[in-house]
Structure 1
């Protein structure tokens, strides 16, 4: 998987190139274009079944986050998907590892399939 960030602060765009079988999670409604990619709507929860459904509903009610997330999978080597945030502003890469991030609602744009996240209400 490769990606390129362009457009700066005014018209940001992330172009992701996927090989066959590679997948990314994309915020619902962020896709601008695609080529040789299959799109599927998934429940916005790491759990399956009723627990996953209730978790997705809870996220939606408490944070305004969508119940669904888009999964994009490459159909062939060199498949591409262009994604952009709903609100203009620079796209930043956050490296995943031991460090954790606290993001505001709406800050998530996309990640590879290995990344998971939790929504928590601010106290």
Structure 2
């Protein structure tokens, strides 16, 4: 998880630790269900830079908010925050029959951030 920690630059070890736990638990549950021939798939969804109130403390208020938002947008390959509806669409797909063969997968929804571009924030 070191790369994710560098990319996030949030200095929030709890996020990194719980993310690792979720990723590992996803794989364990998926493998267990497959071994037991249970008709259950288990995948995890990992959104980042999705415009929700969780960003408010980090973005701040007033003119600083716009500046902080712009820094994040500029560092994202898609040059925008993601929308909650985009995360919901992936969840709906994963729950559908169209995703029958997707199992033990980690779906990152970040506009390409984990490709490395976000690492410049905070430098």
Confirm or deny a common fold (TM above 0.5): no
Q: As a proportion of its length, which structure holds more strand? A: 1
TM value normalised by structure 1: 0.29
Q: Choose 1 or 2 for highest CA Rg.
A: 2
